[in-house]
Amino acid sequence: MRKSYDNINNKFPTKDITPDDISNKIKLVSNKKRKKNIKIKKNLGFSNKCIPLICGPNGLESLKLGLSFAKFINKLNLNFMRVHIFKPLTFPYRSRQYSEAGINGIEWIKEIRKQFPSMVLICEITELQHLEILAKNVDILQIGTRNMQNFELLRECSKSKMPLILKRHFGSSIRDLLGAAEHILLDGNDKLILCERGIVAPHTHRDTSRYMLDIQSIPAIKEITNLPIISDPSHASFWAPWVTPLAKASIAAGADGLIIESHPEPSKSKVDPLQPLNYNEFKKLLISLKKIAKADNRQII
């Protein structure tokens, strides 16, 4: 940790977290007295013992896909499912292929909930106007990498008291991520889960590796906060064959949960078809993750 430069007012340019940050800028985030457990529903939540495996297709493409995916993971005794109906894209041109369900997808979410009432549903929120309806119909709101510092969105999501997943922006330092987290805690919501999803770095080996999963951020973040930190190797690697080893490495490094994309026919996935695991790959990964978790006295849920 860099020593504090007490005599320099404010703004010393650094990526590192100083003792001054800890006592003045991220004092809620860095409070290690905060309870670690975040209960989501019934006996499901984030804790030292449980590792939620959040899975699903990139986007909720249809009700049929949503229901069949829910059925698939229900049989595997998994409980946390992505139901993303809003998909921010880097470029504004949405081909028919790269479509998103949009607000009409709420009806699909309601039906999935009706048929799988104990399932924990996660959806990204991209606009404040959707907060109320999403809060009514899902269990966790995800704030995507591109909105990490959209402070108004953070503040309103915090006030909703919904459990939140805050993804690290791909260009941000851990300090910036924790600063954004402090905004959320300050508004009174401490059901907050942080997510490492890959950062910008020179391409590693092939240009499908769009981002680099910063596994080191997991222990680094744990040094400072006891907010859960989960890992999303799907969005980091962009490349299904690398998702399995990176998921295993994340759990071994102490991640408190995972986001894994899976799709019955990955090549037909409407968004990012290179990154979802097919069902067999997913089942195989689950077997390995259970072993790694067990070695650490933890459990995949």
Collect all residues with Cβ–Cβ distance below 8 Å to 279 and sequence separation of at least 6: 72, 262, 264
Enumerate residues 217-236 that contact ligand PEP by CB under 6 A.
235
b/e per residue 109-148 (b: at least 16 CB within 10 A): beebbeebeebbbbbbbbeeebbeebeebbbbbbbbbebb
Which secondary-structure segment (H or E) carries 80? Answer: strand 80-82
In the complex, least distance from residue 290 CB atom to ligand PEP, rounded to whole angstroms: 23
Residues composing the chain: 301
Q: Work out which of 197, 210, 263, 298 binds ligand PEP, going by CB under 6 A.
A: 197
The smaller minimum CB distance to ligand PEP, of residues 58 and 237, is found at 58
The smaller minimum CB distance to ligand PEP, of residues 167 and 183, is found at 167
Which one of ligand PEP, Mn ion, none interacts with residue 167, CB within 5 to 8 A by kind? ligand PEP
Alpha-carbon distance of 183 to 202, in angstroms, equals 31
How is residue 51 written in tokens? 């590792």
Collect all residues with Cβ–Cβ distance below 8 Å to 70 and sequence separation of at least 6: 81, 112, 115, 116, 119
The smaller minimum CB distance to ligand PEP, of residues 58 and 172, is found at 58
Region for residue 272 given its phi and psi (left: phi exceeds 0; alpha: psi -120 to 50; beta: otherwise): left
The smaller minimum CB distance to Mn ion, of residues 109 and 293, is found at 109
Whole-angstrom CA distances from 176 to 14, 42, 51, 187 are: 11, 33, 25, 17
Collect all residues with Cβ–Cβ distance below 8 Å to 31 and sequence separation of at least 6: none
**Which residue's Cβ lies closest to Mn ion?**
58
Enumerate residues 163-182 that contact ligand PEP by CB under 6 A.
167
- The footprint of Mn ion (CB under 5 A) covers 58
Alpha-carbon distance of 34 to 19, in angstroms, equals 19
The smaller minimum CB distance to ligand PEP, of residues 52 and 144, is found at 144
In the complex, least distance from residue 187 CB atom to ligand PEP, rounded to whole angstroms: 21
How is residue 176 written in tokens? 């910036």
In the complex, least distance from residue 31 CB atom to ligand PEP, rounded to whole angstroms: 26
Whole-angstrom CA distances from 246 to 18, 70, 257, 259 are: 30, 24, 13, 11
Which one of ligand PEP, Mn ion, none interacts with residue 79, CB within 5 to 8 A by kind? none
| CA 22, 190, 147, 267 torsion-angle sign | positive
The smaller minimum CB distance to ligand PEP, of residues 26 and 141, is found at 141
**Contact characters 101-130, ligand PEP, x per CB under 6 A:** -----------------------x------
Q: Work out which of 144, 179, 233, 257 binds ligand PEP, going by CB under 6 A.
A: 144
In the complex, least distance from residue 257 CB atom to ligand PEP, rounded to whole angstroms: 13
Which one of Mn ion, ligand PEP, none interacts with residue 197, CB within 5 to 8 A by kind? ligand PEP
**Which residue's Cβ lies closest to ligand PEP?**
144
Which one of Mn ion, ligand PEP, none interacts with residue 145, CB within 5 to 8 A by kind? ligand PEP
In the complex, least distance from residue 16 CB atom to ligand PEP, rounded to whole angstroms: 24
Alpha-carbon distance of 38 to 134, in angstroms, equals 20
In the complex, least distance from residue 261 CB atom to Mn ion, rounded to whole angstroms: 7
State the residues that interact with ligand PEP by CB under 6 A. 58, 84, 124, 144-145, 167, 197, 235
